Amino acid sequence: MIDLLGGEAASQHECSRSGCRHGAGWAILWRNPKIHAADRRKTWLACDEHRAYLQDFLEARSFPLEVLPLSELLARTSPEEHLS
Ligand SMILES: [Zn+2]
């Protein structure tokens, strides 16, 4: 699966896990209810290897989150918005 992500698009969307340089195939939208407004979303990108790690990290803190394929995120938002 990771081999399929090795192209140009992958280099523009790296996994958010610190130290990981893999192309991301997943987007995790989340927020911290204590500091983020209800309509605010943070976006982390994840490779196949780290999607579960990042998801567990957020779930352990009881943060609301949504996981979706990166392609779906890109379809929803403009390229300028999704990494803000
Ligand atoms: Zn990764």
In Å, how far from its chain's centre is CA 22? 12
Residue whose tokens read 């911290």: 32
Run of H or E residues at 76: helix 70-76
Question: Which among 59, 10, 52 has a CA at the least distance from the CA of 30?
Answer: 59
Which pLDDT score is estimated for 10? Answer: 44
- For the chain, the structural domain boundaries read 2-76
For 58-77, what is the mean pLDDT?
A: 93
Token couple for 55: 């998801």
Report the distance separating Cα 30 and Cα 11, nearest Å.
23
**pLDDT grade, residue 78 (50/70/90)?**
low
How far, in Å, is the centroid of ligand 1 from the Cα of 24?
7
Among 1-15, 31-45, 70-84, the range scoring the smallest mean pLDDT is 1-15
77 burial level (CB within 10 Å; 0-12, 13-18, 19+): middle
* pTM, entire model: 0.76
Which pLDDT score is estimated for 80? Answer: 57
- Give every CB contact of residue 78 below 8 A, 6+ residues apart in sequence: none
How far, in Å, is the centroid of ligand 1 from the Cα of 46?
5
Is the pLDDT score of 67 beyond 90? yes
Is the pLDDT score of 4 beyond 60? no
How far, in Å, is the centroid of ligand 1 from the Cα of 67?
15
How far, in Å, is the centroid of ligand 1 from the Cα of 47?
4
